[in-house]
Amino acid sequence: MLSGDFLVRGSVSLAGHFKVSKLVIGVVVVSFGTSAPELVVSLNAALSGHPDIAIGNVIGSNIANVALVLGLTAIILPVKVKKKAIYFDWAVMMFISLLFYVFCINNSLQFFEGLIFLALLFTYIFISIFKSRKEHLKSLEESIPPKHNLFISFSLVIAAGVGLVFGARFLIDGASNIAKEIGIDDRIISVSVIALGTSLPELATSIAAALRKELDIFIGNIIGSNIFNILAILGFTSVIKSININPMVLKFDIFWMLGISLLLFLFILPLKKGAVTRWKGLVFVSIYLVYIYLAFTLKGA
């Protein structure tokens, strides 16, 4: 939790220095930092011959980010969402999730598809920063002076990122070893145990943001992490080495990821006064528990 608190504090301060919204800092800086464990896990898995872990980690983490992380945080503090988070970032998340499904139809992610993901990633970052700086000139709402100088702000973000990565790795290693000892296959481990472990940074950062009432950082972190998980992690990984897709991913897991992403949009309607309330948080957490149960139950399907 301490690392999550540092990440929020440093990121809010960076937003003031670079004159961009806290939402964009949440999407670009915070989400990249909290997605670092997924990147480490997926790269290691692909290079060591465990493609199910590389793919399952991303899908399971995206499901956990919305259904578990957003759900638990909303139970603590209901989350109001700004329109710009809906029209742009959610639309990008849904588009690339559907594109990911299309790329998976041939049962693999190839070098060229990874390049497309990376090109979309850099385009998304550029557009996010450009839009935010343009809107900043028209709004006094974002003109909050930074609490720390630039060096301290960067130091907080870097230290927090390192702490989140190492904390997640300790949990992943221990939980994965236990799961393998009782005979659970790579796909099940990746969408459940490993995905939960790599989502802990998002959970720690999001709860810290909610407690500080920095809700732009919070919702930006959730959506941004899901975008980074697909574009950055699968992009970099498949460029380095092609990834084979487990048939159960196409039959089961990816539809849960798409369905939960769509449910997020429905839960934050109407757009002008959208909010993820406590009861919606409970629904999300319940859906996550059902998904995990079915993932284990249908493992032999």
Q: What is the pLDDT along the chain (301 residues), one digit of tens a residue?
A: 444 445 555 555 555 555 555 555 555 555 555 566 666 677 777 777 777 878 888 999 899 999 998 998 888 888 877 666 567 888 999 999 999 999 999 989 999 999 999 999 989 888 877 766 665 555 444 445 556 566 676 666 666 656 655 655 565 566 566 666 777 777 888 888 878 877 776 677 677 767 776 665 567 668 878 998 899 889 988 998 889 898 999 999 999 999 999 999 888 877 667 788 899 999 999 999 999 999 988 865 5
- Per the structure, how many domains does the chain have? 1
Q: What angle do CA 152, 70, 258 make, to 5 degrees?
A: 120
CATH number of the structural domain spanning residue 104: 1.20.1420.30
| Tokens, residue 184 | 């659970």
Looking at residue 19, its amino acid is K
pLDDT attached to residue 196: 82
Q: Centre a 10 Å sphere on the Cβ of residue 243 and count the other Cβ atoms it contains.
A: 24
pTM exceeds 0.85: no
Question: What is the rounded distance in angstroms from the CA atom of residue 125 to the CA atom of residue 204?
Answer: 24
Domain that holds residue 246: 2-297
107: left (phi over 0), alpha (psi -120 to 50) or beta: left
| Structural contact between residues 145 and 11, judged by C-beta atoms closer than 8 angstroms | no
